């Protein structure tokens, strides 16, 4: 696995510091935070996922529109199955989403030792609950009934506590592991402590995860310009679909704007993450194999 560029670490750290300073001054309420979630995820987060079609074209011979149509049908079919699961089994879906999110986000430290991949993935989902459990439970309450939402927040706090202890032990007792990966995870913990859970998610998802994934992907795609244009086009379609979904959710029920946006963003991300995770794992295996063949 290729080492991640140093500038990504600095970008994430500077973004976190600036966000902490700005949020300390502004102290936006939950509604404002949720309204901030939409443009930031749409502009800085979605494009990395919209590269999934170019990734698939780089891995498999998707010949012509028929090959692309078959891939799109499979991709959207998996996403649709996740949406159905959220509709009928929201409590279970919250736990499943958190589990595969931790696995997926741990990939941001693929160039680090296994223990740092584990602590990183656990920190991304567990750190906010450790410091702001009630806020996390409130957000989960938009997605599932309160009993499983509260239980999920409590479980995440426990995961976060274990990950924090492990990270501190590594910092103190393992000088060889004091790498940029551990620095990024320290920034994660500081951001989780100082920022609300939603702002923390925006900072991590947009300033580290999306940037890292998109950079790695573009390095392995031959026609980068076409891939970027396609990514932008698919992101626009996804955003328009998201706004339509928010309108539908509010139109058919008594949902508040916070509830409607939270459901659209997080259930939408959950739905897209399942096929995205499967594809990215296949992509990582493919790039790792290609790298080995060069030596």
Binding residues: 48, 104, 209, 213
| Closest to 56 measured CA to CA, from 79, 76, 44, 72 | 72
**Binding region for Fe cation:** 48, 104, 209, 213
Cα 22 from Cα 1, distance rounded (Å):
36
- Encoded tokens for 154: 């409590």
Cα 38 from Cα 166, distance rounded (Å):
33
Contacts of 125 (CB under 8 A, 6+ apart): 98, 101, 102, 105, 156, 159, 160
Contact (Cβ atoms closer than 8 angstroms) between residue 239 and residue 42: yes
Contact (Cβ atoms closer than 8 angstroms) between residue 139 and residue 130: no
**Residues, the chain, total?**
295
């Amino acid at each position: 696995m290729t080492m991640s560029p140093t500038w990504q670490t600095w970008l994430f750290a500077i973004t976190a510091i600036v966000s902490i300073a700005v949020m300390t001054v502004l102290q936006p309420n939950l509604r404002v935070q949720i309204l901030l979630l939409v443009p930031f995820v749409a502009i800085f987060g979605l494009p990395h996922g919209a590269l999934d079609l170019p990734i698939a074209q780089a891995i498999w011979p998707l010949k012509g529109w028929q090959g692309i149509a078959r891939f799109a049908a499979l991709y959207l079919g998996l996403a649709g199955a996740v949406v159905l699961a959220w509709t009928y089994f929201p409590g279970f879906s919250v736990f499943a989403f958190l589990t595969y999110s931790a696995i997926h986000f741990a990939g941001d430290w693929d160039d680090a030792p296994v223990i740092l991949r584990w602590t990183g993935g656990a920190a991304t989902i567990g750190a906010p609950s450790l410091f702001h459990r009630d806020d996390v439970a409130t957000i989960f309450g938009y997605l599932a009934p309160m009993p499983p939402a509260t239980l999920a927040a409590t479980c995440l706090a426990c995961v976060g506590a274990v990950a924090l202890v492990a990270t501190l032990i590594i910092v103190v007792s393992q000088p060889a592991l004091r790498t940029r990966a551990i620095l990024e995870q320290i920034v994660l913990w500081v951001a989780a402590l100082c920022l609300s859970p939603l702002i923390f998610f925006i900072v991590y998802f947009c300033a580290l995860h999306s940037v890292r994934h998109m950079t790695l992907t573009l390095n392995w795609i031959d026609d980068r310009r076409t891939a970027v244009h396609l990514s932008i086009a698919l992101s626009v379609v996804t955003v328009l679909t998201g706004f339509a979904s928010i309108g539908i959710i509010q139109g058919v029920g008594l949902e508040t704007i916070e509830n409607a946006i939270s459901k659209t963003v997080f259930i939408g991300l959950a739905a897209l993450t399942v096929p995205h995770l499967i594809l990215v794992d296949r992509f990582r295996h493919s790039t790792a194999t290609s790298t080995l063949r060069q030596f």
